[in-house]
Amino acid sequence: MTLVDVPALAAELKSSDKPTVLDLRWWLSGPVGRDEYAKGHLPGAVFVDLDGELCGAPGPGRHPLPDPATLQGVLRAAGVREGHPVVVYDAGDGLPAARAWWTLRWAGHDDVRVLDGGYAAWVAADQPVTTEVPAPSRGDITVRPGGMPVLDADDAAALAAKGLLIDVRAAPRYRGEVEPIDPVAGHIPGAVNVPATDHVGSDGRFRAADALRSRFAEAGLADGVPVGAYCGSGVTAAHTVLALHLAGRTDAALYVGSWSDWITDPSRPIS
């Protein structure tokens, strides 16, 4: 299972063996997730900062892989334990939570789920929130990198040529008509555009598996075709990797550096 809905999580949080819950609220241009956490969060949830704790320092790429030892310290401080379930959530769009899900899976922790609909769905269901900051017992997770397939720039180019490389950014960014964040516009030659917004409904919850499979099939995905995803910096693309898992493609790879890494080498082609 990669998702958990509000009723199921509410029931689990009443049990004697609760999952570890991590609050990943984050926005590229604000507000500050830690401030939102202080205003209210799920009972027992520990805030983890996507930029400062789950990713490495920028360059190249805006959200590179974290140092394994540093990540291990962050996760242990948050109470993450070997073999114990973890639930991650964000404000509701699923993007930072998906990157946290992917990072934990990459680190070798398999029992990780995303709260479908995030904090917005929890509040809409009249579930309890709190401002109390928990003091979790220190976890014992050992980070073992390699639990999820990763692409570098050369891998991404090869996949675009011989498989299916999905650019999950909005269509105008893919076409190079606008570029609000990175200094160069365009996309990786051969990549196919499937915006991440295609994977969710208006409430931010993922579409049914059949609908996801149909959408990816329209983009050219078929049995035996290797697939990977990229975005601006590897956050939104993790959301698409999660959607691919829901559609049955657990081999989907993430180009972590994504467009912000691709453009650091002027010799790489741009469409």
Which amino acids are annotated catalytic? 231
CA pair distance 6, 119, nearest whole angstrom: 9
Torsion of the alpha carbons at 33, 36, 41 and 45, rounded to the nearest 10: 30
d(CA 9, CA 11): 5
What are the start-end ranges of the H helices in the chain? 6-12, 33-39, 68-77, 95-106, 118-124, 153-162, 171-174, 209-218, 236-246, 258-262
Question: Residue 59 is which amino acid?
Answer: G
In the chain, the amino acid numbered 167 is D
Vertex 100: Cα angle to 94 and 102 (nearest 5): 95
Bridge partners, 244 (sequence order): none
Closest alpha carbon to 90 in 60, 62, 54: 54
What distance in Å separates the CA atoms of residue 26 and residue 197, rounded to the nearest whole number? 17
What is the rounded CA–CA span in Å between residue 261 and residue 259? 5
Structure tokens given for 128: 């309890």
Q: Positive or negative CA dihedral for 235, 238, 243, 244? A: positive
